Copies of this chain bind each other. A is one copy, B any other.
Amino acid sequence: MKSIFYTRFFILLPWILIVIIVIDIDTKRLSVRNTASFYLSRLGNVHGSNATSLPVIYAITPTYSRAVQKAELTRLANTFRQVPQFHWIVVEDSNSHTELVSRFLARSGLRYTHLNVFTPRRFKRTGMPRATEQRNLALGWLRGHRSVKDKGIVFFADDDNTYSLALFEEMRSTRRVSVWPVGLVGGRRYERPLVEKGKVVGWYTGWKADRPFAIDMAGFAVNLQVILSNPRALFKRRGAKPGMQESDFLKQITKVEDLEPKAKNCTQVLVWHTRTEKVNLGNEPKRQQDSVYIEV
């Protein structure tokens, strides 16, 4: 009798232990995983299972060679590195990839696509819209490399603006075309879409108020599927007037009444149209005087 009891006990005990251990692992592993994915989700490169289901933000950044270029790209990358599911499309105004930008991107820790197209000299005049060719090349790349299966948001991120991290979480839910205020633009503290009952009904702006979309390039995002289903929507050179690039582009893909207001019904400034001063190089020696070459 006693021997049967012991046998049963020794058979049951380990099985009970196994059950306890398995339950214990599951809770612990879950909590470790949650902690990890919380921090992972704050980083751009690596994504937990939640992050990969987010639409990718494709930020299109035209850039050109100048004294402050690497500095500008450095602070942009410092911001973008904290945006989950981020893909940076950098388009140089040059005949080929420059070494500076290539090296910079390779070390940035960001997912990126590096493109280039040279702006014809006749378009490089004051009053002419800038970066048209670069933005269009990026749109062409998206149309050639992404399909209806891909979830994404397209945003035009000029290289001298200032972006808060909150901006990217606002734009991520864009269904077709979303809009929000932009700080320090048009000669005012900010410009913004005026919203009534969740719809855009006008524009608070100090400049060319009669534009169909009185909005800066930094003030809107477009769902990738809208870009793909309007394959001819592009930024225009022919007939384009200064400051009309945004309107010319947006009227090809949406209507004012369909715009989705973000940033608490367009009452928060989460992006600033900052401008960096042109650098004074008046004391730069005519000939190389330093003993080494230093990239700046």
Footprint of B on A, CB under 8 Å?
A: 7, 10-11, 14-15, 17-18, 21-22, 25, 28-29, 32-33, 35-36, 39-40, 42-43, 46, 67-68, 70-72, 74-75, 78-79, 81-82, 162-165, 181, 183-184, 186-190, 192, 194, 204, 206-207, 267-269, 272, 274-277, 279-285, 289-292, 294-296
Contact = CB atoms under 8 A, between A and B. Distances in A.
B81 A296 contact: no
Contact of A294 (B81, B192, B274): B192
A82 B163 CA distance: 16
A183 B67 CA distance: 9
B276 A274 contact: yes
A216 to B, nearest CB: 13
A71 B183 contact: yes
Number of copies: 2
Nearest to A14: B14
Given A33-B32, A187-B282, A79 B71 contact: no
Given A39-B36, A277-B275, A296 B74 contact: no
Nearest to A167: B74
A266 to B, nearest CB: 9
Contacts of A295: 269
Contacts of A81: 82
Contacts of A267: 292, 294
Contacts of A68: 184, 272, 274
5 contacts: A21-B21, A25-B25, A28-B29, A71-B162, A75-B163
Across chains A and B, which 6 residue pairs bring their CB atoms closest together, nearest first? A206-B283, A187-B283, A14-B14, A71-B272, A275-B277, A71-B162
B39 A296 contact: no
